[in-house]
Structure 1
Amino acid sequence: MAGAWPDGMGVIVGGIRIRHVKIPVTDLARSVGWYRDLLELVLAAEFCEEGSLRGAQLMHPSGFGIALREREYCSSTPDLTGFDVVAFELDSVAELERVAARAAEFDCVHSEVVDRGEYGAFLDVTDPDGTVLRFLANNPLHAGRFVGVDAADSGAFTLYDTPKL
């Protein structure tokens, strides 16, 4: 069966894709501006509770969205400081460089573009609340191929092809 998972199971729902990622923020207006500027998103919706603005939905013309919700009104008030909650796949390292330049233009905290050879390249950009957005290019992870990664404290890593699970 074309497109079947390696264990022979078919896809249950065709055309499934991630619609948006919801991120808790401490200052909704600041974060809406930050995400709009960096990712060229458009405000698509606002969410009020009893007349008070608590969240927003931002969309990209390609169809992905970022939903933002005031942290104090999220269940368990999650703090994602330092955590890369989402990764965006870009077509090339040159596109990573363009995102890095855009991040610098808007004074966003960001890493350098790191090229890890066969494991691809990445760029991390940190939002105003410390949540990390990861941007990838040439990443070897995709459906139909298994890649194991063993990372060392030094930052070095090795790849393996036999699952441990």
Structure 2
Amino acid sequence: MNLNLSEARIKFDETDQPVSVTEHHQEEAHQLIEEFMIAANTCAAETLEQAGESCVYRIHDQPDPEKIVSLRELTDALSLPFAKGQVMTPHRFNELLMKVKDTDSETAVNEAVLRCQSRAVYSPDNIGHYGLGLTRYAHFTSPIRRYADLLVHRGLIKIMTGKKAAGRQRAGKN
């Protein structure tokens, strides 16, 4: 999903007191790097699956239908048509986000779409990544190194060095 949410930046004075809050939007260069990271993370999951190695997936389930009710209430209040009675797909959310782009409602709708999403979690069982619209996804690249990243790295190193995988073998489900 193409959420357009800005990041708040707080400026402090010399006594560490906050003096201003500004919005910071992601630059195109950061967006490009993000796309490369997603491609690398997808490739890592696919490589581990194809080699029969265990993989710690980053999974993201579909939104809870109850959470979508509040989003529908907002879209109704704003007179925005929004996928009533249809299967909710990332594409449908993106259509809504495009309708409000550069309008006064953009921030409110982006935040409401984000709030109705499930939380992404790590799992050895793959169900795909709903928000990214991907059938497989692992954390291989990360600005913050996590243990799950290291497990993916270890599996890839095993494959690249030709060592036999120790422990349980697992074939991908998707």
Q: Answer whether TM exceeds 0.5 for this pair.
A: no
**When the two structures are superposed, what TM-score results if normalisation uses the length of structure 2?**
0.27
Greater strand fraction, Structure 1 or Structure 2: 1
Q: Which has the larger radius of gyration?
A: 2
**When the two structures are superposed, what TM-score results if normalisation uses the length of structure 1?**
0.28
Higher relative contact order (CA 8 A, sep 6+): 2
